[in-house]
């Protein structure tokens, strides 16, 4: 689409909606936030960006998918379950909800099979019961709501930062400060549409608190992170922004030859073979949405991260 002279200064979502009557403004806003709109070589990530006459935009509309996920008999590690909620210890490699490219074998498919018709509908047909997410290759604790009252209360607690969440990550190098805060707005990368980044302008405020639990020489360290906000890829983006990306992270922390060559041969082999971000949601705590009881769970590091840390301890 090409912007006309009389559209100068309009928001990009409004300008495109005026030219594309088959797409609502809210749909176009979602497409922009999902990285599906480009101008030249640049991906547009901010729906409020102002347009100029003659500016060209390309909109990529994902293929239509089945609206309702189907039940799939996938084993789940259930840490707690009652009539209101279910807490799962999610393995690395499992996608939380269906999305383009991952239509099946998700946690939602497994929950539908496990819980039946009891799942909350507030999350929509594609995300029934889902209150928060973990990245596909992040392991650990996650809660889902089984009815709408529980969903509303849990969602409000997450929004008010009243849920206790802690993660353990293995990162390259050792932060100069043993504990601290990483603050910086996070938004979609202006060029690489599948990546998030810290932005000087735009994006959403994000705050991560960290502390170093253990260091492996000066080459790597085990870090605990606690989220004050919940942005997409927040821990991965924030740690990478201060020069300490997660080991194994294919998007934000690819191992450079210099980093790998600094490791002893046996350790180098283990690190090079670790093919997912070394991130685990080990702690989850909140007030029960119905009874008010204080609930808290811990999840031990999975075997692959334990093996990675054991190897690094030999440095």
Task: Please give the positions annotated as active site.
Answer: 135
- DSSP label at 219? T
- What separation in angstroms does the CA of 78 have from each of 73, 82, 118? 14, 11, 16
Q: List the alpha helices (DSSP H) in the chain.
A: 12-19, 25-33, 107-115, 148-159, 234-241, 257-261, 265-272, 303-312
In the block, residue with structure tokens 């085990």: 222
Where are the extended beta strands (E) located within the chain? 37-39, 42-43, 58-59, 78-81, 85-90, 139-145, 164-172, 179-183, 186-188, 196-198, 207-216, 220-227, 279-287, 294-298
24's CB contacts (< 8 A; 6+ apart) are 17
Rounded CA Rg of the chain: 21
In the block, residue with structure tokens 């979609």: 188
Strand-pair partners of 130: 144
Residues composing the chain:
315
Strand-pair partners of 142: 88
Tokens of 185: 């707005």
In the block, residue with structure tokens 């690094």: 312
């Amino acid at each position: 689409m090409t912007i006309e002279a009389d559209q100068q200064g309009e928001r990009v979502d409004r300008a495109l909606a005026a030219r594309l009557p088959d797409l609502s403004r809210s749909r176009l806003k979602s497409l922009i936030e999902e990285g599906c709109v480009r101008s030249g070589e640049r991906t547009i990530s901010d729906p409020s960006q102002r347009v100029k006459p003659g500016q060209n935009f390309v909109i990529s509309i994902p293929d239509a998918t089945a609206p309702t996920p189907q039940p799939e008999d996938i084993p789940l590690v259930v840490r707690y379950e009652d009539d209101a909620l279910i807490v799962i210890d999610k393995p690395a490699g499992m996608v939380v909800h269906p999305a383009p490219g991952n239509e099946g074998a998700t946690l939602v498919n497994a929950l539908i099979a496990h819980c039946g018709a009891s799942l909350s509908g507030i999350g929509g047909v594609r995300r029934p019961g889902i209150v928060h997410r973990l990245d596909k290759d992040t392991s650990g604790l996650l809660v889902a709501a089984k009815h709408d009252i529980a969903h509303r209360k849990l969602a409000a607690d997450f929004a008010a930062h009243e849920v206790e969440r802690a993660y353990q990550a293995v990162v390259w190098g050792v932060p100069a400060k043993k504990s601290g805060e990483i603050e910086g707005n996070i938004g979609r990368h202006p060029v690489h549409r599948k990546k998030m980044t810290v932005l000087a302008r735009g994006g959403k405020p994000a705050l991560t608190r960290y502390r170093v639990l253990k260091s492996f020489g000066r080459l790597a360290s085990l870090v605990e992170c606690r989220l004050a906000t919940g942005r997409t890829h927040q821990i991965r983006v924030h740690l990478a922004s201060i020069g300490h990306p997660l080991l194994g992270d294919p998007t934000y922390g690819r191992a450079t030859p210099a980093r790998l060559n600094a490791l002893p041969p046996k350790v180098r082999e283990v690190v090079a073979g670790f093919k997912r971000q070394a991130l685990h949601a080990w702690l989850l705590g909140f007030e029960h949405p119905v009874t008010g009881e204080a609930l808290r769970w811990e999840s031990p590091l999975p075997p692959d991260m334990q093996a990675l840390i054991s190897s690094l301890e030999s440095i």
